[in-house]
Amino acid sequence: MSTVTIDRRVFLCGPVAGALVTARAWAQTAPVSAGPADPKLIEDLVAANRVLADQGVVDGYGHVSVRHPADPQRYLMARSIAPEMVTAGDVMEYDLDSNPVDPRGRASYLERFIHGEIYRARPDVTAVVHNHSPSVIPFGVSTAPLRPLYHMSAFLGGGVPVFDIKIAAGQATDMLVRTPALGRALAQTLGPRPVALMRGHGAVVVADSLPRAVFRSVYTEMNARLQAQAMALGGPVTYLDDEEARRAEASVAGTISRPWELWKKKALAR
Ligand SMILES: [Zn+2]
C-alpha cells in the first residue's frame, strides 16, 4: 500500500477536531500535477493505444494508462476517445481517485476507476490495459478456464481470475466499472495476477511497463483464440504445466522489445 494512502487514512480517522471538514474541502480541490512527463513516455502511451487497436485488442472502446514516473500517486491516460485516434495532446493526468488534474473540459473514460484502483492496490504495476478483447469473452462467461496454451502466453500460468460485477455490486449493473468501489473490487479479484477477465465485458491486463502490458494484452487475445480452436477440435488439450509456464515466461520476458519496436514503428508511421 502506498504511503499517501496510509497517510490519508490516518488523517481521516484521526481525533483532530474538524479533520473531516478539512478532508472534504481537500477532496473537492483538483489534484496537483506531478509535472510534465518525459515526452518519450507520452509517445509510448500514444503508441500503446494505436498498437492495441492495430492488434485487434481494442476497437472504439478500451483504454491504456501508465503510472506517472515522477509520482506513484498519479497516472496518465487519454481523454475519452477511441484508442486509435489518441495523440500526445489527448493525454491527461489523474490522481489515484481518478480525478483529472487539469480536465479543461475534456471528458474522461467512465471506467477510469479500473486504473486508479489497480495502481493503488498494486505498487508493482506501471501500466494498465482495459479491453473488450473479443476472444477472451467466452472464457469469462463459461466454465472453461483460460490457460496458457503456448509459450508466448506463459504469463497466464497460475490462473486467470474472473471478475463478476453482479457479485461485486450485489445487484444487476450496466456492466461498467463506473465507481471507485467497483474498481477496488476488480483490483481485489485481480490480486497479484497479470490478467483478470471481466464477465460479459472484457479483461484487465497489468504489467511493470507499457510494452509488457501491450504484449500481454496481445497474447492474451491470441491464447484465447487458439485455446477455443484447440478445444473445438475435441479431446483433451495439453496446456503448459507450471514449470513450463515459469520457464517460458522468464525466457520470453527478455525479448519483448522486439515485437514492441516493430508494433510501435508501424503504429506511429500512420
Ligand atoms: Zn469496458
Is the pLDDT assigned to residue 22 strictly greater than 90? no
Specify the DSSP class assigned to residue 93.
E
Least confident range of 9-23, 74-88, 160-174: 9-23
Q: Is 249 part of the annotated catalytic residue set?
A: no
DSSP codes of every residue in 1-48: --HHHHHHHHHHHS--TTHHHHHHHHHHSPPPP--PPPHHHHHHHHHH
- The mean per-residue pLDDT over the stretch 60-86 comes to 97
Q: Does the pLDDT value for residue 21 go beyond 90? A: no
- For residue 238, the tally of other CB atoms under 10 A from its CB is 7
Rounded to the nearest angstrom, the distance between the alpha carbon of 140 and the centre of ligand 1 is 13
Mean pLDDT value of segment 171-176 = 97
Q: If you measure from the C-alpha of residue 115 to the centroid of ligand 1, how many angstroms do you get, rounded to a whole number?
A: 12
What is the reported pLDDT for 28?
54
- What confidence category does residue 16 fall into, taking pLDDT thresholds of 50, 70 and 90? very low
Q: Is the pLDDT of residue 11 over 60?
A: no
Catalytic residue among 43, 84, 111, 117: 111
pLDDT digits (tens, 9 = 90+) for 85-128: 999 999 999 999 999 999 999 999 999 999 999 999 999 999 99
Task: Tell me: pLDDT of 234 over 70.
Answer: yes
Provide mean pLDDT across the span 262-267: 96
What integer pLDDT is reported at residue 270 of this predicted model?
82
**Is the pLDDT score of 6 beyond 50?**
no
pLDDT averaged over every residue in the chain: 91
Ligand 1 midpoint to CA 132 (Å):
6
Residue pair 114/186 in contact (Cβ under 8 Å)? The answer is yes
The rounded percent of the chain whose pLDDT value lies above 70 is: 90
> Ligand 1 centroid to 6 CA: how many Å?
29
Per-residue pLDDT averaged across 156-173, rounded?
Answer: 97
Percentage, residues of the chain above pLDDT 90:
89
What's the 253 CA to ligand 1 centre distance in angstroms?
27
